[in-house]
Amino acid sequence: MTSRCHLLSGRLTGGIVPLILALAPAALADPASPLAPRPDLPDAGLSAIRTVAALIIVLGLFFGGVWLFRNSQRMAWRKGGLPKLAILESRPLGNRYALHVVGYEQQRLLIGSSPSGLSLLSQLPAAAAAPAEPVAPAPEPASFAQCFQHFFKGRLGAKTEGTGS
């Protein structure tokens, strides 16, 4: 049985391969043949540019959607005004313990957090609308040149004091 299949496949292969080789030049010469090279195909460089541009557009849409998703909460309170609830200040006290000053409208609350949960420690006085004393304006920051000179004056002064001169 195996010898008969082998002979049959040998006859088919022996007859088909020369037939394909004989017809291939005629098929390539015919412009209507699907095997003939097509002059109307787009340039490979142009196709690569279009593919990269499409990739950039898709990635831009993806990252724009991620940004909108992450910032939608922030944009929502801008439409409705300032949020009523805010964490005004927070101080960690150690291993999973912290103090938080939470404000809701004009109220302020001191809350302690621990591994067992949250607890109200105290109600603080209402936040002052305006400070009682005028605050002195902050000094103007020094320029880079002034900081640079101050740094090297300190270095040179430290070297001359250390040498005893």
The DSSP string of 34-85 is TTSPPTTSPPHHHHHHHHHHHHHHHHHHHHHHHHHHHHHHHHHHHHH-S-SE
User: Has residue 163 got a pLDDT over 90?
Assistant: no
* pTM confidence score: 0.34
User: Which pLDDT score is estimated for 138?
Assistant: 61
Residue 78 pLDDT: 61
Give the CA count within 13 Å in the CB-facing half-sphere of 96: 5
Q: For 62-113, how does the pLDDT look when each residue is reduced to its tens digit (9 = 90+)?
A: 999 999 988 887 766 566 666 678 888 999 988 889 999 998 888 899 999 9
> Rounded to whole angstroms, how far apart are CA atoms 122 and 112?
9
Rounded distance, CA 149 to CA 59, Å? Answer: 48
Query: What rounded mean pLDDT belongs to the chain?
Result: 75
Output the DSSP codes for 94-134: ETTEEEEEEEETTEEEEEEEETTEEEEEEEEPPPPSS-SSP
Determine the pLDDT at residue 61.
97
User: In Å, how far are 4, 8, 24, 101 from 16, measured between CA atoms?
Assistant: 18, 12, 12, 88
| Domain map (residue ranges) of the chain | 1-41, 42-81, 84-124
